[in-house]
Amino acid sequence: MTRISLLILCAAAGSLAAPARAQNTPENIDPVTFEAGRWYAENGVPTYKIEADGTIDWATYSGFRRYHSECHVCHGPEGEGSSYAPALKTSAVTMDYYDFVDVVTNGRQKVNAAETSVMPAFGTNANVMCYLDDIYTYLKARGTEALPRGRPAKRAEKPDETRAAEAACLGS
């Protein structure tokens, strides 16, 4: 079973649990291992890698593309937020990764005297779920200000492992 399949199954079952921790720390940000076409931090959470010349890893570039096709309508361009929904670039560094996945997968509703907000569930949307880690790493790079606003100028090539995982997830 691929890592993304396991992630989707666990999130759908609501069984992902991890202790909350500050996201903006080296064990949560710094790329340590490259596995199945993506970078992971020391704690096993997906992260971005930006080379000295500004080249970003493929997953983060893919996240830029997917975010702007699925998320920016509500959450604003580049994860900056809008009058309708919060800045996701902030959420990617302040929320625990597993909580982030849970909210995107299952949605969330907050209704009280101070606020009314509804995040729809995207757990059945392959255009989000097959690229959720990509979206997360893009937002994490934006939230730590490692990646400036706008279309990334340079990107790494798409790894073969990513092509295979994408085809499996999309059923093609």
In this structure, are residues 142 and 79 in contact, taking their beta carbons and an 8 Å threshold?
yes
Give 55-72 pLDDT, tens digit per residue. Answer: 999 999 999 999 999 999
| Predicted local distance difference test score (pLDDT) of residue 76 | 87
- 3-class secondary structure, 154: coil
| Predicted local distance difference test score (pLDDT) of residue 50 | 96
Q: Which domain holds residue 33?
A: 3-170
In this structure, are residues 2 and 36 in contact, taking their beta carbons and an 8 Å threshold?
yes
Report the pLDDT averaged over residues 143-149.
93
Give 121-142 pLDDT, tens digit per residue. Answer: 999 999 999 999 999 999 999 9
Which distant-in-sequence residues (6+ apart) come within 8 Å of 130 by Cβ? 4, 166, 169, 170
* Alpha carbon 164 to its chain's center: 19
| Predicted local distance difference test score (pLDDT) of residue 24 | 61
Give 1-51 pLDDT, tens digit per residue. Answer: 445 444 444 444 443 434 344 456 667 889 999 999 999 999 999 999 999
How many domains does the structure of the chain reveal? 1
* pLDDT greater at residue 79 or residue 4: 79
Give 96-122 pLDDT, tens digit per residue. Answer: 999 999 999 999 988 888 877 889 999
